[in-house]
Amino acid sequence: MVRSSLYTIMLAAVASGSLAPLQAAEIALYDATYRVVTGDNGGEPGQSGEIRQRLGRECRDWVYSQDAAFELPDNQAMAWQTSTRESMDATEYQFDMTTRSDGSLDHVQGTAVMNAYSGRAVFTGPESAVLRMEPETLFPTQFTSALIDRAESGDRYFSVPVFSGVDGRQVVQVTAVIGDPFDAPPAGTTASLLGHRGWPVTLAYFNDGGDGDMRYQVHVDLLANGIARSIEFQDGDLRLSISISTIEFVAPVDC
């Protein structure tokens, strides 16, 4: 639960149709390290690890990677490495994730395609599977862009199916409640990538269709350039606070 939800949150924290290109959102290209602080209701929180993620652009693709390593309050070590490639026209998506937790190893990889009528994801490896998707399903970077577009337009509510490839081999329904915008910090007081206005966003994740119980919920300070400045996650007694410690610009690769 924790590994897949955090991956989805970090990648999507977060289009009128599945073929719509990115609109108003100017998604930042960056390499960032996030500090992870974990805790539970029975003990004091303490710094326990970090998550590093990188979003770049190569030709007409968004190329993303994430490496995480931290300990939960029960001394369980968690680590994963993820890489994805998402076409900017949102028609193709590749995903690969390796997870190590409590001595076990799990590997998920595959590809997905989307057109105006339907979508399909193919999981390869020992547990191969094919997943059919509705045409309104968004890939992660596309979801981030669409969420920012909604926030910029003054919308307070946004709900859409999202496919990341690593969240239980399924599509999840993500419902966003967007709060009042906060101003950008004064010029020169923070890194330029963080010098943007944004919105507090609550993201609720449901099984596909959105008609079941909520799986988990997170609170994100989302900047207008797509960067999640901070994240608060709680699942039962488990609490995680995630905030940026370093960030730098990544130059795009043109073809």
Per-residue pLDDT reduced to its tens digit, 111-128: 999 999 999 999 997 778
Mean pLDDT in residue range 24-30: 80
Nearest residue to 152 (alpha-carbon basis) of 85, 121, 116, 197: 197
Backbone angles phi, psi at 141, to 5 degrees: -70, -35
- Please state the pTM of the whole predicted model: 0.87
Residue 215 zone, left/alpha/beta (φ > 0; ψ -120 to 50; rest):
alpha
Burial of 238 per CB tally in 10 Å (0-12, 13-18, 19+): middle
pLDDT in tens, 33-74: 999 988 765 555 566 789 999 999 999 999 999 999 988 777
- Which tens digit of pLDDT belongs to each residue from 134-192? 999 999 999 999 999 999 999 999 999 999 987 778 899 999 999 999 999 988 788 89
Q: What is the DSSP string of 45-98?
A: -EEEEEEEEEEEEETTEEEEEEEEEEE-TTS-EEEEEEEEEEETTSSEEEEEEE
Q: Where are the domains of the chain?
A: 2-249
> What local confidence, expressed as pLDDT, does residue 74 receive?
73
